[in-house]
Structure 1
């Protein structure tokens, strides 16, 4: 009986070793929210991740937008490729009218380009294309919506990082392209609490650019679940007046 028990323990150990090794190697969840600067990190291979955000934005004196919610659905195909799907339910309230519904769904991917090495940042590419017919009737676009950006990050220490994105987007309402930039500094207050401050802006081809500042905090419940809180304000007259948001992200 003793020999049988030993064999059973050895078999159980051999079965669990791969799972224990995986749990030790995997890093805590990395998300593209709550800041505008998306992370170059990909979802680990064969893992599914969802990032949800609820926000209130005051566009100007007569207009506000509620997002209830915005969700980014991600799946790690392999170490270099991630599939992505974005869904947003909006409520747009103007002075004398209100519309609500599903914004055109975006599908896309994130591709790892390079690991951080010396002065060269960790870099990935993100691209999305809108599905104009997968939307509520009031939010369907006249043109094809698309966006892309290169996302980069430098690690200064265990507590501090510097990230930035460069890219362009087409909103589907006009053929005009809009250049995008984001610059963010992240700081880990503790193993569980992170913080950031950020500058970002949109530079359309034929209209005036707008720029904003925001900041926020994150709280890591465990390696696979995180909460976030953020807010920001416009620094140019044509930028949204302010916004506030909270969210939660998980993977499995």
Structure 2
């Protein structure tokens, strides 16, 4: 019990400290949370961003932390950890590189490529390398469509996501998303979720989302709360 309390305290403290460690900036941020789709946006060179969220479901409670850094123009590097609150232990660590390939032009979508290297304690393969192609198309000033296709378990299966984003004001944005996982020897996993984000400051976002599985005898619901902060 003491170990669990210490781990929870560490996770919350880390999240809190990232929001107050530096002075507030007026630079806006663009996060890859709380949805499942990978965004096409890459951080400008030299910028650092923290994204953190807690996911609660019937089967698990997880703290997901992502650190992002703009390495050069159109290229960012990222480090992501998933901390299992119930164990408590780190279930996986992922290093990734995101490269912007194409900027949206007329009817063509923006495109980014992400490469992953992952260590996982829970998957059959402890170490794996995968990739993702992410797309985003602007439908209007307030609506956009994001979609991505990524491999899983060393290209043995794949994830598909599609998401509709709505940005009514500079303070709010919301989304509705469908995503699925296809792997050999397993039935496909279908999910739907939705969420909103609010900008306390241009560089500080808080968010709330939730969803559940589809086409299952017993749906698994989940709720996620989180934040994003851009350092300059």
Q: Normalization by structure 2: what TM-score?
A: 0.83
How big is the shift at 1:206?
2.1
Matching residue of 1:104? 92
Give the whole-Å Cα distance in 1 for the aligned partners of 2:189 and 2:156. 14
| Higher relative contact order (CA closer than 8 Å, sequence separation 6+) | 2
d(CA) in 2 for partners of 1:202 and 1:190?
A: 33
User: Counterpart of 2:60?
Assistant: 65
Q: Any idea what the Cα deviations from partners look like across 1:39-83, whole Å, max 9, x if unmatched?
A: 10011210000100001122xxxxx1001x211110001222100
Name which of 56, 67, 81 aligns with 1:87: 81
1:111-190 correspondence runs (5 A): 111-131=99-119, 139=122, 142-170=125-153, 177-190=156-169
Unmatched tracts of structure 1, length 5 or more: 1-22, 59-63, 93-98, 133-137
2:54 matched to which residue of 1? 54
Distance across 2 between alignment mates of 1:44 and 1:224: 14
Give, in whole Å, the separation in 2 of the partners of 1:140 and 1:197: 28
Given that residues 104 and 140 in structure 1 are in contact (C-alpha distance below 8 angstroms), is that contact kept between their aligned partners in structure 2? no
For 1:239 and 1:178, how far apart are their aligned partners in 2? 24
Query: Runs of 5+ in structure 2 lacking a partner?
Result: 1-24
Instruction: Report which of the two structures shows the higher radius of gyration computed on alpha carbons.
Output: 1
Q: Which runs of 4+ in 1 moved over 2 A?
A: 138-143
1:230 equivalenced with 2:218 (yes/no): no
- What is the CA–CA distance in structure 1 between the aligned matches of 2:210 and 2:41, rounded to whole Å? 23
* Structure 2 residue matching 1:145: 3-state secondary structure: strand
Q: Give the CA RMSD over aligned residues.
A: 2.1
1:244 matched to which residue of 2?
223
CA 1:199–1:239 in structure 2 vs 1: closer, same or farther (change >3 Å)? farther
Q: How many residues align?
A: 207
- In 1: Cα distance, 2:218 partner to 2:79 partner: 27
Q: TM-score, normalised on structure 1?
A: 0.76
